[in-house]
Amino acid sequence: MNTDEPRSQQRGLDGRIDTSPGRPVKKTATEARQGVTGHNVRYVLGFGVLAIIVAFAVVYGYYFHA
């Protein structure tokens, strides 16, 4: 095993990443990221939340406004 490489890149003789018990795996932020970045994801989230707020306001205004 080459100890000059980061822990996330250390591989055994068979080429697989070393996952010995008791040794934490250290990953870079890019390696650990689970979600999609880019692709205007924050805009989709923002517009979706805004649409729900507007929809709730319309329902409230229709059913509960005196």
pTM to 2 decimal places:
0.47
Residue 29 and residue 48 in one domain: no
pLDDT of residue 61: 95
Residue 29 and residue 44 in one domain: no
Residue 28 and residue 55 in one domain: no
What is the per-residue burial (b if ≥16 Cβ within 10 Å, else e) of 38-55? eeeeeeeeeeeeeeeeee
Q: Indicate the pLDDT class of residue 53, thresholds 50, 70 and 90.
A: very high
**Considering its fold, how many domains does the chain have in total?**
2
- 57 pLDDT higher than 60: yes
pLDDT of 6-52, one tens digit each? 554 555 556 666 666 777 777 788 777 777 777 788 899 999 999 99
Distance (Å, rounded) from C-alpha 50 to C-alpha 42? Answer: 12
The domain of 10 spans 1-34
Residue 3 and residue 30 in one domain: yes
What is the mean pLDDT of the segment spanning 45-61? Answer: 96
Residue 1 and residue 30 in one domain: yes
